[in-house]
Amino acid sequence: MSHYANHVETLQARFDEALQATGFESALIYSGQAAVAFLDDNPYPFRVNPLFKYWLPITDSPKSFIYYRAGQKPVLYLYKARDFWHAPIDIDVTLWGDFFELKVVESLAQVRSDLGDALASTALIGELYEPLDGWDTAAKNPQSLIDHLHYQRAVKTDYELECLRKANTLAARAHNAARDAFYAGASELEIQHAYLAAINFREQEVPYNSIIALNQHSAILHYDVYDRVASAESRSFLIDAGATYNGYCADITRTYAAKKTGFYQELVEAVDKAEQAIISEISPGTSYYDLHVSMHHKIAQILVDFNFFKISPEEVYERGYTNAFFPHGLGHYIGLQVHDVGGFLKAADGSSYERSARHPFLRLLRDIEPGQVFTIEPGLYVVDQLLEEFDGNDDFNWTRITELRPFGGVRIEDSVLVTANGTENLTRDAFDALK
């Protein structure tokens, strides 16, 4: 049996369990539709409901539905409007055709009519545009059902892993092109164009806005403005950019020094080494939170080794200073969404962990299990806003911090699969395969 066949079988079992636990007989998953800009008739780029593409590698079919009744073959209501304004959607059924009952519809009313009285025992999952908000379903987006499904999604099927590996291969190829553009003296916008061209993607097809940051822009965590003119002096380049395959996401960050010797290059190498060291600490049964704290201690050591502080690494962490240089979380689940869901769930019943007061931006608090895929992305930056409260503090070596400021910072990010015997680094394997 193929990986995809096993995937559908797993999803049926997961939905059966979730429906029974929450008291619904069936689920109706709406793919979604493109929202229209305010006071305009132009739509925003369409983003499919992640629970729709969980079942099917279809990411560009608005107004379609998947109907799943416990224990039965899922039905795909594929929307194809009679429309001479737009090109028809070309859907390849090769992979999934045998596993779904296909019904082509021209209106949402046909779906409602076809389901009839079954809607009364069905949970509708999706954005509630008209006329869906008026349908007489048992519930609309019931949190209990969504929590159950999100909890299950943390463990990936072999099909999902196959898609994630291919997404990482695409992203790694584009990253190499962006790196080469940087060393050739390109502007941020030109680097972005090189990235997209390397994998033949439109900008709306990448899973998130690429972070293409030169020099001090590297200290802006979600920088996506893109200077159109090349910098007069190129010092550093941080790129955080991804790709998709069958709706599954890659999320990769790399940092490069313009000069391959000296202080900043050594700092990049130190963060890269620490990132690989923390990956070696991953094992089933341990807490991701503990992994995050361990990374903070490694960042504290780097800060002291590079003379950013006049105190010990232990004091740097205990006094809360590492949060100013490494303010974000160590990572997050990744899969159907870049920031995949379920990171705070303790169990399928929706019980959840409270965010850490010390590390409020950490997106993942669950224990580590085989089959999980998450990112590992430590960083070290000069963020002046975060340093304001420490102004004048003699524990800091402000002269050294000033040296780093024109470079912005450093971040390294890989996606890691947890196995019973260790880890598989999806990202580094992808780069290695391209050598």
Annotated binding residue 332: yes
pLDDT tens digits, 284-332: 999 999 999 999 999 999 999 999 999 999 999 999 999 999 999 999 9
Domain boundary among 153, 182, 197: 153
User: Are 304 and 167 members of one domain?
Assistant: yes
pLDDT above 80 (res 135): yes
Window from 15-24, 126-135, 238-247 with minimum mean pLDDT: 126-135
b/e map of 266-276 (b: 16 or more CB within 10 Å)? ebbebbeebbe
pLDDT tens digits, 84-108: 888 877 888 889 999 999 999 999 9
Q: What is the mean pLDDT of the chain?
A: 96
Reported as a pLDDT band with limits 50, 70 and 90, residue 418 is very high
The closest of 102, 101, 137 to 119, measured between CA atoms, is 137
Q: Is pLDDT larger for residue 130 or for residue 216? A: 216
User: Are 146 and 188 members of one domain?
Assistant: no
Mean pLDDT of 68-89: 90
Domain boundary among 126, 153, 180: 153
Full residue range of the structural domain in which residue 21 is found: 3-153
Determine phi and psi for 412, rounding to 5 degrees.
-130, 135
pLDDT above 90 (res 5): yes
Mean pLDDT of 356-368: 95
pLDDT at 91: 85
User: Are 197 and 49 members of one domain?
Assistant: no
User: Are 181 and 281 members of one domain?
Assistant: yes
User: Are 113 and 182 members of one domain?
Assistant: no
Helices first, then strands: H and E counts in the chain: 13, 14
Q: Which residues contact 45 (CB under 8 A, 6 or more apart)?
A: 34, 204
CATH of the domain at 25: 3.40.350.10
User: Are 282 and 413 members of one domain?
Assistant: yes
pLDDT above 80 (res 258): yes
User: Are 198 and 66 members of one domain?
Assistant: no
User: Are 429 and 296 members of one domain?
Assistant: yes
pLDDT tens digits, 15-24: 999 999 999 9
pLDDT at 83: 84
Annotated binding residue 148: no
The total of structural domains in the chain comes to 2
pLDDT at 57: 96
pLDDT above 90 (res 261): yes
Domain boundary among 135, 153, 171: 153
Mean pLDDT of 154-163: 98
User: Are 299 and 396 members of one domain?
Assistant: yes
pLDDT tens digits, 182-239: 999 999 999 999 999 999 999 999 999 999 999 999 999 999 999 999 999 999 999 9
User: Are 252 and 380 members of one domain?
Assistant: yes
User: Are 148 and 162 members of one domain?
Assistant: no
pLDDT tens digits, 162-178: 999 999 999 999 999 99
d(CA 357, CA 410): 25
d(CA 215, CA 126): 41
Determine phi and psi for 242, rounding to 5 degrees.
-135, -170
d(CA 126, CA 132): 9
Annotated binding residue 305: no
Widest CA span in the chain: 72
User: Are 277 and 320 members of one domain?
Assistant: yes
Annotated binding residue 251: yes
Mean pLDDT of 11-36: 97
The closest of 244, 243, 227, 242 to 182, measured between CA atoms, is 227
d(CA 122, CA 133): 14
Mean pLDDT of 267-276: 98
Annotated binding residue 429: no
pLDDT above 80 (res 141): yes
CATH of the domain at 298: 3.90.230.10
pLDDT at 1: 56
